Amino acid sequence: MSHNTHGSQNLHGAKGQYKHDANYHKASGQLDRKAAEHHDEHHEQIAVAAYFHAEHRGFNGGDPVADWLAAEAEINAALNKGEDASIH
């Protein structure tokens, strides 16, 4: 009975590829989790800054969307300059 060693090598190679893919997805999942945490933190910074915009005008009038957009621009500008964008 003859064994097809070429087929065995392909199967072994495929197993190795699956292991590589699993490691990639594990690392990718860790990066995705970090990106989600960063996104949540960024979103929170914008929300707090938008709140302060509304608070500054005494919560009278104004546009919540305009507050959000202004806050987002401020936070992004601070981050682009390398500043700490957190609100204290």
Q: Which of 65, 61, 34, 33 is nearest to 47 (CA)?
A: 65
Tokens for 49? 């800054």
Q: Which of 71, 41, 36, 78 is nearest to 56 (CA)?
A: 71
Instruction: Please give the Cα distance from 84 to 75 (Å, whole number).
Output: 9
Per-residue confidence (pLDDT) for residue 84, from 0 to 100: 65
| Domain extents in the chain | 5-80
Per-residue confidence (pLDDT) for residue 69, from 0 to 100: 97
Per-residue confidence (pLDDT) for residue 27, from 0 to 100: 60
- Alpha-carbon dihedral sign for residues 66, 68, 71, 76: negative
Q: What tens-digit pLDDT sequence spans the chain (88 residues)? A: 444 444 444 444 444 454 555 555 556 667 688 888 989 999 999 999 999 999 999 999 999 999 999 999 999 999 999 876 655 4
What radius of gyration do the chain's Cα atoms show? 25
- The pTM for the full model equals 0.59
Per-residue confidence (pLDDT) for residue 21, from 0 to 100: 56
Per-residue confidence (pLDDT) for residue 28, from 0 to 100: 63
